[in-house]
Chain A
Amino acid sequence: MTRSAEELLPFYVNGTLDAAERAEVDAALADSADLRAELEVLTALRKQMQAEEVESPGEFGLARLMRDVDRDGPASSAPGEEPGNVVPIRRLRIWQIAAALVLAIGLAQSVILLNAPGDPGFELASGGAAGADFVVGFAPDATEAQIRALLLNAGVEISAGPSALGLYELAVLDETGIQAAEEMLLAAEGRLIDTLEVIAP
């Protein structure tokens, strides 16, 4: 019994394999009594799982949803429309992102000079980069799935953004992993990330 056929077996059971994959599993089943026994187990397991009744919120949940939708107001704008104050990142150019970073850093420095660090209300004018570990602009053709995988692998989460220029602030989930996160984000620069700024600790 091959590892490949074993990995495909659950999807053979749920009927989602293509013809070539089914043929591969069929051939492996013909050769292996163990795999045939496993097929019976998985078939029974799936049947058991699907037979289980789950009490969902049903109409009560729908009523609650409608109440909150009414409070929330109308749904999002139609596909393709963007809120007037947001520039879609796919329209950005590198120089715009760079300019935004220079401006943000300049503003932050101005505020630092104008306010004593201990003053109540002291914060960076660049908006919340305090608490963020990185500021990134994602590549226009980076998909949501690619970005999500990158963030998960790097152990970071989006702490703010998108800014008006489409920049995001990222924070590491575990401070001890900041070095690894930086390396992973740097490795993605030029592919999924157009611009990366590492915020000094």
Chain B
Amino acid sequence: MTEDQTQAALLARMADGDRQALAALYRALEKPVFRFIRSRLNDPFEASDILHDVFMEVWRSAGRFEGRSKVQTWIFGIAYRKVIDAHRKRGRTDLVGDVPDSADEGPDAETCLAAGQEAEHVRHCLGTLKDDHRAAISMAFYDDMTYGEIAEIAGVPEGTIKTRIFHAKKLLMRCLSGRVARRAPA
């Protein structure tokens, strides 16, 4: 039985009111779902609350899971929308992360590589991305999702996800390169 089949079986048991199945599903997916939420929110407490809301909704909606996607994709979709709701409630606007003027203005890749090995820089630069760019790159690199799965979670065409990640990647490289350049000795 695959991991997804195991999780689908847990959902089926949850639909019958099995709390132990909920606990098992929570233990299996809590970390990746929390990391995904946390990557889009600066506040760990708010991220914890949203994680809680996500699993409450999973519990309430377990009977409505139709198996047309992987369980993880379905749950990430719930988390994706809840974070958007949280941003909307706060009236947050995405003022950062403008698309680069042109693709050939990218930074030197070797510099980025050096920067990419420093966690602090990576965290900072991820934080400068727009939410939809950050969400897409988080799902691609934290969770190794396909572009089809990411598109399903975000509710947009696959081409949109490829474009978002293309621009997110450019912006990350530019940011990383800039930080390394500022730290470089004269």
* Interface flag for B129 (CB, 8 Å): no
Smallest CB–CB gap between B19 and chain A, Å?
A: 6
Known contacts A62-B23, A69-B22, A75-B62; A54 and B38 CB within 8 A of each other: yes
**Cα distance A104–B166 when bound, in Å?**
48
Residue interface bits A127-166, CB-to-B below 8 A is 1, else 0: 0000000000000000001001100100000000000000
A-B contacts counted at CB < 8 A amount to 148
The CB with the most chain A CB atoms within 10 A, among B81, B155, B166, is that of: B155
Contact in complex: A41, B116 (CB < 8 Å): yes
Q: Which stretch, A7-15, A22-30, A89-97, touches the partner chain B?
A: A7-15
Known contacts A54-B35, A65-B52; A44 and B116 CB within 8 A of each other: yes
Residues of A within 8 A of B116 (CB): 41, 44-45, 48
**Cα distance A8–B147 when bound, in Å?**
9
Residues of A within 8 A of B15 (CB): 75-79
Contact in complex: B163, A11 (CB < 8 Å): no
Contact in complex: B146, A44 (CB < 8 Å): no
* Interface flag for B89 (CB, 8 Å): no
Q: Which stretch, A32-40, A109-117, A184-192, A193-201, touches the partner chain B?
A: A32-40
**Cα distance A56–B116 when bound, in Å?**
24
Residues of A within 8 A of B166 (CB): 3, 6-7
**Cα distance A136–B99 when bound, in Å?**
35
Q: Which chain B residues in 139-185 approach chain A with CB under 8 Å?
A: 140-142, 144-147, 152, 155-156, 162-163, 165-166, 169, 172-173
Known contacts A11-B146, A65-B55, A69-B22; A76 and B162 CB within 8 A of each other: no
Residue interface bits A40-72, CB-to-B below 8 A is 1, else 0: 111011101111101111100110111011001
**Cα distance A50–B26 when bound, in Å?**
20
Classify chain B: how many residues form its interface, as a range: 35 or more
Known contacts A41-B109, A152-B155; A7 and B165 CB within 8 A of each other: yes
**Cα distance A56–B162 when bound, in Å?**
29
Contact in complex: A75, B63 (CB < 8 Å): yes
* Interface flag for A81 (CB, 8 Å): yes
Q: Which chain B residues in 27-52 approach chain A with CB under 8 Å?
A: 27, 30-31, 34-35, 38, 44, 48, 51-52
**Cα distance A26–B65 when bound, in Å?**
38
Contact in complex: B122, A49 (CB < 8 Å): yes
Residues of A within 8 A of B142 (CB): 49-50
Contact in complex: A61, B51 (CB < 8 Å): yes
* Interface flag for B4 (CB, 8 Å): no
Residues of B within 8 A of A179 (CB): none
Contact in complex: B48, A57 (CB < 8 Å): yes
Residues of A within 8 A of B162 (CB): 7-8
Smallest CB–CB gap between B75 and chain A, Å?
A: 13
6 CB < 8 A contacts A-B:
A38-B109, A54-B35, A56-B34, A75-B14, A78-B15, A79-B64
Binding site for B on A (CB under 8 A): 3, 6-11, 13-16, 34, 37-38, 40-42, 44-46, 48-52, 54-58, 61-62, 64-66, 68-69, 72, 74-79, 81, 145, 148-149, 152, 173
Apart from A54-B38, A76-B61: 4 A-B pairs, beta carbons within 8 A: A7-B165, A65-B26, A66-B23, A149-B155
